[in-house]
Amino acid sequence: MKKLKRILALVGAASLALMYGSTLLFAFIDHSKSQGLLKASIATTILLPVLLYAITLVYKLVKKDPPN
């Protein structure tokens, strides 16, 4: 389970880095669709960490370990 958490954390960090890069790229591209892509990229950059935080909170509430 610990190895799975590390892999998922690495995937999450990589996806955030890619979203930051795409946001920067879309900000400099002068194309007709770049404005919409920039808005979508900014939205996912904000929403993905919030969603991941919410999932971890729910997981901690649902998982009930017996006291040792």
Q: What is the tens place of the pLDDT at every residue in 8-59? A: 788 888 888 888 888 788 778 777 777 788 788 888 888 888 888 888 888 8
Cβ–Cβ < 8 Å for 32, 47: no
> What's the confidence (pLDDT) of residue 66?
64
pLDDT of 68 higher than 80? no
Q: Between 66 and 32, name the one with better pLDDT.
A: 32
The whole-model pTM stands at 0.61
Cβ within 8 Å of residue 41, ≥6 positions away = 19, 22, 23, 26
Assess if residue 68 is contained within a domain: no
> What's the confidence (pLDDT) of residue 60?
82
> What's the confidence (pLDDT) of residue 31?
77
Assess if residue 67 is contained within a domain: no
Whole-angstrom CA distances from 59 to 19, 28, 49, 64 are 25, 39, 15, 9
* Structural domains of the chain, count: 1
Q: What is the CA radius of gyration of the chain?
A: 17
Domain that holds residue 41: 2-62
